[in-house]
Chains A and B, each alone.
Chain A
Amino acid sequence: MVLDQLQRMGAATIHSVMGLGRAALMLLGAIFGKPSIRKGTPLLIKQLYVVGVLSLLIILVSGLFIGMVLALQGYTVLVKFGAEQMLGPLVALSLLRELGPVVTALLFAGRAGSALTAEIGLMKATEQLSSMEMMAVDPLRRIISPRFWAGVISMPLLAIIFTAVGILGGHLVGVDWLGVDGGGYWSAMQANVDLYQDVFNGIIKSIVFAFIVMWIALHKGFDAVPTSEGISRATTETVVTASLAVLAFDFILTALMFGG
């Protein structure tokens, strides 16, 4: 009984360590599998379009609404203390430090991450990856690497766009609708936002999240059981695991950056 359970636990541990090992190997292959500039650049540009540009709409719309909600909620609290001129910094800091990187990463995992997992899982199931290997073309370089870098490049840019649109959304609600002083909105923001502490740290967060989301999405696809069920499970796992990982790392990064 006990021995049986121990054995199962051991097997599960070995299984997960092996999974982690495969994921690490894949990541290394994707990062260091340098495609030549001649062949790699067009692949990267195509993926930047698929992964980045096609996620733009959802990022713009979400950014706008989140900025608007922040301003509305913030205003109702601040106005009680007569501090509504602090609405600008409140919106900007929330977005720069937290909501920009985190919500972008969550949306990105749902929009681009799941699509990548499904795409690569299907390529595996239809033996496209196998046949590429047999043609002496490494799928890690040809398929995984351009997608990985496209994600790592585009996610921080999307987070910056999200934040900018959010701040405009905050202006729309706070200044244009609720009547906070427009000049004050911007000047208080300028006075209270620090380039290093707030802007850079937000971008660093976003880069870390991009690594995590892309790694999980690509690995889940690459390691998927090559059946329709396996692919649908892998897609779900990508969204769940990536979202949880982003939230957990957000806490760790926040503690490191702002906790001390």
Chain B
Amino acid sequence: MESTLSDIMVDIQNLSFSRGDNLIYDGMNMTVEKGKVTAIMGPSGIGKTTLLKLIGGQLRPDSGDILFRGRSIPKMNRSELYQTRKDMSMLFQSGALFSEMSVFDNVAFPIREHTKLPESLIKIMVLMKLEAVGLRGARDLMPAELSGGMARRAALARAIALDPQLIMYDEPFAGQDPISMGIVVKLIRALNNALGLTSIVVSHDVTEVMSIADYVYVVAEKHVIGEGTPEQLRQHESPLVQQFLKGEADGAVPFHYKAAPYADELMELL
């Protein structure tokens, strides 16, 4: 991606990370441009959620660097990290709503924690966010009373409550019906355009991702295997990338977690 330094929001340089003996990333590079929607796609279990946690400073890389607006996240001390996190926001894959608070209080939580706004103003802000995700009527429900898709939209409303500079969405489309999926897709795009936010979207949903992303990374085998605009990616010569985009089970990317050949294992059981 050709861009000057100041246009880059997140810059991942030569990142390596492992969980125990399980090497997840090995020398990965990636840049996220300011004001753009950058998508990260890849097979399940490849480490996409892990990557977002690395960017958020919840995990530390084994080697390599992660720069957020030019400053190294792994090198920050605790208070710098907390200060920096005020400029980011993350939609967790599980939603991670606070179970003892109503939907309204969940969305109001970051506003109440970080501003001294009067309650009347907070109410307006929260209702606006809830309206945007179609859950204004559900404001008094508790998280346990929401469906999976509703919980994720409520979490989305909470993630955008303070209009951060960088929003990371972990699987925002999972569990949405076609209508709410449309709402979420439009919302991510609209937030990005209207407020000039930078978005990172992690998702398996190829069609949706291709429709909203400005730039797409396909991650597999511990690093980026393909990148480009959605147009460029469709023309990509790598068979792995093509297999992933077309959703074919058999191809260069193995669908199965590494194991002994199936036939051998069955024979052993007989």
Contacts and interface: CB of A to CB of B under 8 A. Distances in A.
B109 interface: yes
Contacts of A132: 98
B113 A127 contact: no
Interface in B98-141: 98-99, 109-110, 112-114
A192 interface: no
A238 B170 CA distance: 34
A133 B58 contact: yes
A132 B97 CA distance: 10
A133 B86 CA distance: 10
Nearest to B81: A136
Nearest to A132: B98
A17 interface: no
Contacts of B90: 131, 134
Contacts of B25: none
A40 B94 CA distance: 28
B99 A128 contact: yes
Interface residues of B, number: 21
Interface residues of A, number: 16
Interface of A: 39, 122-123, 126-128, 130-138, 142
A45 to B, nearest CB: 15
9 contacts: A39-B112, A126-B94, A126-B96, A128-B98, A130-B92, A131-B96, A136-B86, A136-B113, A137-B110
A39 B96 CA distance: 22
A131 to B, nearest CB: 4
Contact of B96 (A127, A136, A137, A142): A127
A122 B99 CA distance: 10
Contact of B82 (A122, A127, A128, A136): A136
B89 interface: yes
A128 B96 contact: yes
Nearest 9 interchain pairs by C-beta: A131-B96, A136-B85, A127-B96, A136-B86, A134-B90, A135-B110, A136-B82, A137-B113, A134-B56
